[in-house]
A and B are shown apart, each in its own frame.
Chain A
């Protein structure tokens, strides 16, 4: 009840999105700091190799990229992103969000498009909404627009995936889950492999995921239904983080959930 009253204001919902996004960004950025060896000189993504990728682009852009993305400047940019992410807790504002958006784009470009696929897409969607809304901090219309923008992408992220799964015979039969878990980042626990090797549990679990994703827009019908979908979504992303190593998706999607709850009628 109390949550419902508080979340009636688009500004409060956006603040919740901002706080959860900052937690997600702190985790993402700490991971990049730990992975320094992969982008320093002689690392896998050595800038001396990557800079050739930009040779067809304008000389101005090349100079800019050389300044920002070369080592150790890129490492400093990541440190600055960590501080900016933490500043969101205390001092959320346009310049902070603009910098976080810029640094997120820089990280994606440094990894030739994205570092972590879908979680980068959602991070940029949320940061774009937060940047625009913080440029007009007193405008309720802009705040509402930012929330709708996040929710449209959130719903698309489930529905497009869900309907694409419906077209796959492996998902319809229930055999896809075992294949994905076997191909995951970590070795699959034997008990889960056994469970998914049996056709009935695998079938039920596959269809639960497909139906949850396809039906996700129903979460907008009312807040009680919305809460059920959010809980299912949390469990879904938690399982993905555990079995497939997709921890970034868990935190990035959670950051978008207050927007959905606000939008639910």
Chain B
């Protein structure tokens, strides 16, 4: 409880370490499963917004991306703290529900939600700046 309280109020305890070293960062992917269980390719949930002439001053879409990226990092930290017996319970956590929500919103916006279709999502760890996009999976959801 104390750690949850500290997380919620962490803005009161500033951390000034920015871009201190190249690390691995999490990325969220989803894939469609057909009625027969055939799986489509893994596709990234987060798409880079287009840079506009005013983005230096006003950048809502870019800041939304950064907030989503923070969500992934928070989930990664939470998973890292889980005991083996808590892994099943993670699906009921707020973090997992938010990821599921994000994947659902992406599917809706791509008009991919059709009757009989299910989907999966996964979090994958990639090295910053690695444009090949291949990394290690550390969370794969069941078919939803």
> Which B1-40 residues sit within 8 Å CB-CB of chain A?
1, 4-5, 7-12, 14-22, 25
Contacts of B67 on A, CB cut-off 8 Å? Answer: 38, 111, 115-116
Inter-subunit contact A113/B20 (CB<8 Å): no
- Residue-wise, chain A 182-202 has the 8 Å CB interface mask toward B (1 for contact) of 110111000000000000000
Q: Please report the total number of B residues contacting A with Cβ < 8 Å.
A: 50
Of the listed stretches A13-21, A77-85, A129-137, A172-180, chain B binds A172-180
Which segment of A47-55, A138-146, A220-228, A257-265 sits at the interface? A47-55
Q: Which of A56, A114, A168, A181 contacts B20 (CB 8 A)?
A: A168
Q: What DSSP secondary structure best describes chain A's contact surface?
A: helix
Residues of A within 8 A of B8 (CB): 53-54, 109, 112-113
Decide if B102 is an interface residue (CB 8 Å cutoff). yes
Report if A245-B59 is in contact (Cβ < 8 Å); known contacts: A109-B9, A124-B12, A153-B14: yes
Contact status B94-A52, CB under 8 Å: yes
Task: Report the nearest B residue to A166, measured CB to CB.
Answer: B20
A sample of 18 inter-chain contacts (CB < 8 A) reads A31-B60, A44-B105, A112-B8, A114-B11, A115-B67, A118-B15, A156-B14, A160-B17, A161-B18, A167-B21, A175-B22, A180-B19, A182-B130, A183-B128, A185-B49, A186-B62, A187-B51, A247-B56
Q: Which 10 A-B pairs have the closest CB atoms?
A: A179-B129, A245-B62, A168-B21, A164-B20, A121-B14, A182-B129, A31-B60, A183-B128, A160-B16, A34-B60
Interface residues, chain A, with chain B CB atoms under 8 Å away: 27, 30-32, 34-35, 38, 42-46, 49-50, 52-54, 56-57, 104-105, 108-109, 111-118, 120-122, 124-125, 153, 156-158, 160-161, 164-165, 167-168, 170-171, 175-176, 178-183, 185-187, 238, 241-242, 245-248, 250
